[in-house]
């Protein structure tokens, strides 16, 4: 079983004063959990670790030796029955439960609240069944990305889901946040490949949703109700996913455009012709300088799969990029070497530099205006030192814009962070963007969700009341059953 690495170590003397650490769960609750033969940990170090994920504010807290919210206990589930027992006890005592996998999310969705139970699912780590003929795999929620791909490779298969957090994230986390991998143009997002899930409801009932059929017309697809629910409606413990044959061919190329908008238009034409290169990432001038030492806008393209398909895809890409400067394959190799490297993030926060990313999605016709509005709003915030953008995941009708901002705010980095998120989000929403493409909502974006969903939010609240009437599942996330951050 692969264990996630913590974002940054706490200072050695962070918890030297035991009186500063809040008490764990009450003895009554702990006795009941023990009576269910659960693995319960109330040690200071375990509770502090469960209080954070990769949300930048968690990194800042950790660097300062600070825990903003102390969970009351960590329960390490070994199988679905442990999840069921935990939720039954929690519901009787109205104790909050936050399901956790690799805790690689960047929106605070896996941060356990004060006095709650951090439910660690990483011991649900079995690849249960691989069906090479159907092209499906059944897997427990705590399996990490590399372990799943290793198991599939034995059968000549791949899921093709490679988020930046691939090494430290789990299948359950991908599903809970409705994630997308870097090769999603070719393989689809996690929502596209999920066929069946097991979910434990707040009552402790386990339900199996979906089926192994590739498509059904049996009313609304209830699987999708929980994909993206971030542990607020139920806890996913198992999933069946559609997989592909391991790729036999790969093509690479990079082009330089004089403007970002010209590159966007080329990406749109490629996808609307039906070509779906696994990776087609377009960087603006600032990000091209940072990643490729160029002053123009670099588009990198990588595709993999059957040789006939990759050759056809590359031909379409080359035709639509014919007016741009061809850069060869080296920029793609540079990206592959660095694509999962986030080692600079924690040290920057430790030095007082606030850095984060904001990803939104929108139709092609709105992307240029959204980019201009978001970057302009971020650059106008006092303390900002930079804002840049790239286009990552593409579709026939639109794409994802991925904005990075940085600031040196001085005495109050949290206030700067909140302000940056507020102005960028309002700029995006006012131009018709979706609030999130693949990072989810968590705690950070919860305050924007009612505006983003409009009338849909009332329906989400109603669903929460039906499925979790006591509000114990991840309160505050998705702005449900608790105050947003």
Better-scored residue on pLDDT, 411 or 181: 181
Common-topology check for domains 18-123 and 127-245: no
Q: Which residues, 6+ apart, have CB-to-CB distance to 449 below 8 Å? A: 435, 441, 457, 478, 479, 484
pLDDT in tens, 368-408: 999 999 999 999 999 999 999 999 999 999 999 999 999 99
* pLDDT given for residue 230 in this prediction: 98
Structural domain spans, the chain:
18-123, 127-245, 249-338, 351-439
Asked if 146 contacts 164 with a C-beta cutoff of 8 angstroms, the reply is: no
* pLDDT given for residue 7 in this prediction: 53
- Cα of first residue to Cα of last residue in the chain, in angstroms, is 33
Question: Could you please report the per-residue DSSP string of 350-400?
Answer: HTT-EEEEEEEEEEHHHHHHHHHHHHHHHHTSTTEEEEEEEEEEE-SSEEE
96: phi then psi, degrees, rounded to nearest 5:
-70, 145
* pLDDT given for residue 16 in this prediction: 79
249-338: CATH topology? Alpha-Beta Plaits (3.30.70)
Class of domain 127-245: alpha beta
Better-scored residue on pLDDT, 172 or 348: 172
Looking at the domain that runs over 18-123, which CATH code has it been given? 3.30.43.10
Q: pLDDT above 90 covers what percent of the chain?
A: 89
Which residue matches tokens 């693995």? 39
pLDDT in tens, 418-447: 999 999 999 999 999 999 999 999 999 999
- Our CA dihedral for 441, 398, 216, 177, rounded to 10 degrees, sits at -20
* pLDDT given for residue 12 in this prediction: 83
Burial of 39 (0-12, 13-18, 19+ CB in 10 A): middle
- Our CA dihedral for 62, 64, 68, 70, rounded to 10 degrees, sits at 60
Rounded mean pLDDT of 27-42?
A: 97
* pLDDT given for residue 59 in this prediction: 83
351-439: CATH topology? GMP Synthetase; Chain A, domain 3 (3.30.300)
CB atoms within 10 A of CB 150: 12
């Amino acid at each position: 079983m692969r264990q996630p690495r913590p974002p940054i170590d706490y200072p050695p003397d962070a918890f030297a004063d035991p009186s500063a650490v809040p008490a764990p769960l009450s003895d009554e609750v702990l006795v009941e959990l023990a009576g269910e033969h659960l693995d319960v940990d109330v040690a200071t170090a375990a509770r502090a670790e469960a209080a954070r994920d990769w949300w930048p504010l968690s990194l800042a807290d950790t660097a300062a030796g600070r825990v903003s919210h102390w969970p009351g206990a960590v329960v390490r589930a070994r199988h679905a029955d442990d999840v069921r027992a935990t939720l039954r006890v929690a519901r009787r005592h109205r104790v909050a439960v936050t399901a956790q996998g690799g805790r690689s999310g960047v929106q605070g969705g896996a941060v356990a609240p004060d006095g709650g139970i951090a439910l660690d699912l990483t011991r649900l780590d079995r690849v249960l069944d691989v069906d090479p003929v159907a092209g499906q795999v059944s897997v427990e929620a705590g399996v990490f990305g590399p372990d799943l791909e290793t198991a599939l490779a034995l059968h000549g298969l791949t899921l093709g889901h490679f988020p930046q957090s691939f090494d430290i994230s789990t299948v359950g986390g991908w599903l809970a946040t409705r994630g997308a991998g870097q090769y999603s143009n070719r393989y689809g997002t996690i929502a596209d490949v999920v066929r069946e899930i097991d979910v434990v409801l707040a009552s402790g009932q386990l339900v199996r949703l979906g089926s192994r059929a590739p498509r059904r017309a049996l009313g609304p697809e209830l699987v999708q109700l929980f994909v993206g629910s971030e542990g607020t409606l139920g806890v996913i413990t198992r999933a069946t996913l559609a997989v592909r044959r391991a790729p036999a061919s790969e093509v690479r190329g990079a082009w330089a455009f004089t403007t970002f908008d010209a590159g966007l238009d080329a990406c749109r034409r490629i996808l609307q012709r039906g070509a779906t290169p696994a990776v087609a990432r377009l960087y603006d001038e600032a990000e091209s300088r940072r990643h490729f030492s160029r002053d123009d806008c670099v588009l990198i393209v990588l595709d993999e799969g059957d040789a006939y398909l990759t050759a056809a895809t590359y031909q379409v890409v080359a035709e639509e990029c014919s007016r741009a400067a061809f850069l060869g394959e080296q920029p793609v190799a540079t990206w592959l070497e660095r694509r999962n490297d986030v080692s600079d993030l924690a040290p920057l926060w430790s030095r007082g530099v606030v850095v984060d990313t904001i990803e939104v999605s929108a139709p092609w016709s709105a992307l240029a205006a959204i980019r201009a509005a978001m970057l302009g709003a971020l650059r106008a915030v006092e303390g900002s030192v930079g804002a840049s953008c790239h286009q990552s995941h593409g579709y026939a009708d639109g794409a994802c814009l991925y904005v990075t901002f940085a600031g040196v705010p001085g005495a109050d980095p949290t206030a700067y962070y909140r302000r940056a998120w507020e102005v960028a989000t309002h700029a995006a929403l006012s131009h018709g963007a979706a609030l999130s493409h693949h990072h989810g909502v968590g705690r950070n974006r919860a305050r924007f969700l009612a505006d983003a969903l409009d009338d849909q939010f009332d329906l989400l609240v109603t669903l929460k009341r039906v499925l979790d009437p006591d509000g114990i599942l991840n309160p505050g996330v998705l702005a449900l059953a608790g105050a947003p951050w």
